[in-house]
Amino acid sequence: MTGHRATAGRTTVSTIGTSASRRGPSWRLVWLVPAAIALLLGLDAGLLLLGVPAPLTTDRLPDVHGMLLVLAFVGTLIALERATALGRWWGFIAPALLGLGGILLVASPVPLLVAKVAVIAGAAAFTLLYIPLWRRQFDAPLLAQLLGAALGLCGAIIWLAQDGMGRVVPWLIGFLVLTIAAERVELARITMGPRAGGMLLAHAWAVTGSLVVGMVLPDAGAILLGISLLSLCGWLVRHDIARRTIRSTGATRYMAACILAGYVWLAVAGIVLSFGDPSANQPAYDAVAHAIFLGYTFSMIMAHATTILPAVLHVTLPYRAAFWVPVSLLQLALIVRIWIGDGLGYPVGWQIGGALNVAALLLFALTAVTSAILGPPKAKEPKASASTKQATAPQPPRDRSKATALSPDHLDHPERPEGTQ
């Protein structure tokens, strides 16, 4: 019965994917508009928080920076992908509400309270979206993602009663860490073995438990969260196929490098948290927030963008060597910001690193749009034989058995059969 439901769900997604890819870009591109606004204004707000010149200044922007980027941007993207996987019109309510929440957050005439309520509604719809997905498949990674979304919802609710973000950030960390880790586990079922689901859920509950403890005992909660993240990171690194595919070439190596860099930043956040509640210590707070939200989350997004966006939006987004530039810049900027700025205590390093972070993200978006417009790079094969030509010729869009937010790089790993995620 479970298997039957799982198969039914996958058929729905793959049918959407194949037919629409023949028709051109999907109407789902519309959802990128509020997400892009949230990204651009969130980055602008980041510059304001750094105290450096920014294109747009409003009183409210610095207060909404975190929510704009975590729930209104990343949340909208993941909800859009999950709604695509569900294949029901009502699934798209979640990205719509999260996107609307982002717009209201920056629309100054709208009371902030109203915007916060819209974000809560979006996070609630997003959490509910996982229920039919889980009933379809009954598997541990989906349950961990459901839990992650619920943590994001808790963060949005806690924010309603707070002016600052100090008590909210750990919940947003829980949301993104669990969502992305579960996606990696979905991929590595074969290499991780049958106990992988149980291990993932044990970590998911440890993260959740530490957040609950942190409500009453902030230091103890932070230390527990740090230990949980370190344990999760160690376990993921041990099993992730990226450790092997880093020795590969082209897109596969690029993805592996991004994924491994993401794990390094997850470990950095875990280490800093193990020293206690960072919210009272500005450099530690900045280091933890951006090791997770930029280092871990955006490295993973950059890793998977060329496989996820085509599956969801039905646009061709070919990998090009140029993608290495923004990814390397992101890593360099984070080292400057977190090590020199936060760690060694040079505010100018924090500002330069932060500004370079903005440049890296914008450059990545520009590279992606340019690559989509240019289409697949032309193959260089003047002396190729007929059989080689056939093997290297551009392939038609592949039918995906399942679209996941940060995952389907199994297509780059021949040793991992399709449908085994």
Output Rg (C-alpha) for the chain, integer angstroms: 21
Among 159, 293, 296, 364, binds ligand HEM (CB under 6 A): 293
The nearest distance, CB 170 to ligand HEM, in angstroms, is: 10
Binding status of residue 66 toward ligand HEM by CB under 6 A: yes
Binding mask 303-342 for ligand HEM (x = CB under 6 A): ----------------------------------------
**For residues 23 and 163, which CB has a smaller minimum distance to ligand HEM in the complex?**
163
Binding status of residue 289 toward ligand HEM by CB under 6 A: yes
Alpha-helical segments (H) within 217-249? 218-239, 242-245
Binding status of residue 57 toward ligand HEM by CB under 6 A: no
Q: Determine the distance from the C-alpha atom of residue 420 to the mean position of all C-alpha atoms in its chain, rounded to a whole number.
A: 22
Contact window for ligand HEM (CB under 6 A) among 107-115, 226-234, 254-262, 294-302: 294-302
Binding status of residue 50 toward ligand HEM by CB under 6 A: yes
- Maximum distance among all alpha carbons in the chain? 69
The nearest distance, CB 313 to ligand HEM, in angstroms, is: 20
Among 150, 153, 165, 259, binds ligand HEM (CB under 6 A): 165
The nearest distance, CB 271 to ligand HEM, in angstroms, is: 18
Torsion of CA 84, 23, 30, 186, to 10 degrees: 30
**For residues 11 and 328, which CB has a smaller minimum distance to ligand HEM in the complex?**
328
The 3-state secondary structure of 388-411, one letter per residue: HHHHHCCCCCCCCCCCCCCCCHHH
62-84 in b/e burial notation, b at 16+ Cβ within 10 A?
bbbbbbbbbbbbbbbbbbbbbbb
Binding status of residue 358 toward ligand HEM by CB under 6 A: yes
Among 38, 43, 140, 368, binds ligand HEM (CB under 6 A): 43
Among 294, 300, 302, 336, binds ligand HEM (CB under 6 A): 294
Q: Can you point out the beta strands (E) in 301-354? A: none
- DSSP calls for 134-166: HHHH--HHHHHHHHHHHHHHHHHHHHHT-SSST
Among 10, 14, 44, 65, binds ligand HEM (CB under 6 A): 65
* Nearest Cα residue to 68 out of 139, 9, 156: 156
Do residues 182 and 151 make contact, with C-beta atoms less than 8 angstroms apart? no
Among 331, 357, 367, 407, binds ligand HEM (CB under 6 A): 357
From residue 209, give the alpha-carbon distance in Å to each of 157, 228, 231, 334, 353: 18, 10, 14, 29, 33
Return phi, psi of residue 235, to 5°. Answer: -65, -45
- How far apart are the C-alpha atoms of 175 and 187, rounded to whole Å? 19
- DSSP calls for 32-46: HHHHHHHHHHHHHHH
The nearest distance, CB 84 to ligand HEM, in angstroms, is: 21
Binding status of residue 46 toward ligand HEM by CB under 6 A: yes
**For residues 183 and 286, which CB has a smaller minimum distance to ligand HEM in the complex?**
286
Q: H or E stretch including 185? A: helix 169-187
Among 150, 361, 368, 406, binds ligand HEM (CB under 6 A): 361
Among 183, 186, 277, 286, binds ligand HEM (CB under 6 A): 286
Those residues whose C-beta lies under 8 Å from the C-beta of residue 309, and which sit 6 or more positions away, are 315, 317, 368
Binding status of residue 99 toward ligand HEM by CB under 6 A: no
Binding status of residue 152 toward ligand HEM by CB under 6 A: no
User: Contacts with ligand HEM: how many residues (CB under 6 A)?
Assistant: 26
**For residues 43 and 192, which CB has a smaller minimum distance to ligand HEM in the complex?**
43
From residue 412, give the alpha-carbon distance in Å to each of 84, 170, 294: 22, 34, 25
**For residues 36 and 49, which CB has a smaller minimum distance to ligand HEM in the complex?**
49
Binding site for ligand HEM (CB under 6 A): 43, 46-47, 49-50, 65-66, 69-70, 74, 165, 169, 172, 282, 285-286, 289-290, 293-294, 297-298, 354, 357-358, 361
